[in-house]
Amino acid sequence: MTLWIPITLAAAAVQTLRFMLQKRLQGAGLSVGGATFSRFLFGAPLAALAAAVTLLATGAAIPPLTGKFWAFALAGGAAQVAATYMTVALFGLRNFAVGVVFTKTETVQVAAFSALLLGEAVSLPGWGAILAGLGGVLLLSWQSGVAKGGMLSRATLYGVAAGGLFGLSAIGYRGATLELAPAAFFTRAVVTLACVTFAQSLGMAAWLIWREPGELPRVVAAWRRTVWVGVTGMLGSLGWFTAFSLQNAAYVRAVGQVEIVFTLLVSVLVFREKLTLREGAGIALVIGSVIALVLLLR
């Protein structure tokens, strides 16, 4: 099996855990911004430490951080933060379920962006696998009332925009890791991660100081709980960045769709919820698309 595939699966599993921890923080008195910032506050120094240890252990020098590298890295980091906030904004809209479904178009958008911005086209069979996976994710995300919510509503626009921004962030990270070649793939991934998380932590800290000045002390005071969001966030991101350094971002995000399957399995195994026929069909499509990509790209 190609190395990027198990790395992507591990990243999706860790991200599922991070979302669970982050959701609990919002019930502990932290705002959406505070809960999100906790990931970067503790993740940034961990990423810097991981980069330093990697460089020392391998004896490698820091790859040249060119202007093009920073353009990709900062664009990816900004797009990720904007997409996260736009997704959160969906929940304040009446037809939010419509928007949430449309955020799942990320995989198709990242494939288009990959060809347009990086010149990495997806093969016809690859498109088939990606679309099959998208169909499965839409089945898993679909809620009653979505069809009545209006396909041209503001929630739809927010959802498509959030999916596009998440796609652009993946392209930014893939582009940044490629700019650090010919360094080893893991070195490229960990150095890019350290730079991106540092920039994101500074940007979010400035935002909170401006918009929510009392939130920073609350995040720090809750460090015993928030630190685990940072740890899991850093580990998950390291997995994504490593996969991006090895493979086309479109294929990585397509395989990463198993995250929604992991989330559903947690709800079944931990919270004893029952699977519906629609959810079972969605899981089958997602897993089938991943298997198809594995066979295509091995």
* Segment 37-48, tens digit of pLDDT: 887 888 899 999
Look-up of token digits 């980091």:
77
Q: Average pLDDT for residues 109-134, to the nearest whole number?
A: 93
Q: What's the whole-number average pLDDT of the chain?
A: 86
Confidence of residue 247 (pLDDT cuts 50, 70, 90): very high
- Tokens for 66? 């060119």
How many alpha carbons lie under 13 Å from residue 26 in its C-beta half-sphere? 10
Q: Average pLDDT for residues 237-262, to the nearest whole number?
A: 93
Q: Amino acid identity of 130?
A: I
Distances (CA, A) of 71 to 61, 67, 115, 161, 174: 21, 6, 18, 21, 12
Is residue 144 over pLDDT 60? no
Q: Give the highest mean pLDDT range of 23-37, 41-55, 219-233, 260-274.
A: 41-55
pLDDT of residue 49: 96
- Tokens for 226? 């928030």
Domains of the chain by residue range: 4-297
**Residue 115 DSSP class:** I
Q: What residues have CB less than 8 Å from 287, skipping those under 6 apart? A: 136, 258, 261
Distances (CA, A) of 291 to 46, 89, 130, 217: 33, 34, 11, 46
Lowest mean pLDDT among 94-98, 204-208, 227-231: 94-98
Distances (CA, A) of 128 to 31, 249, 275: 40, 16, 26
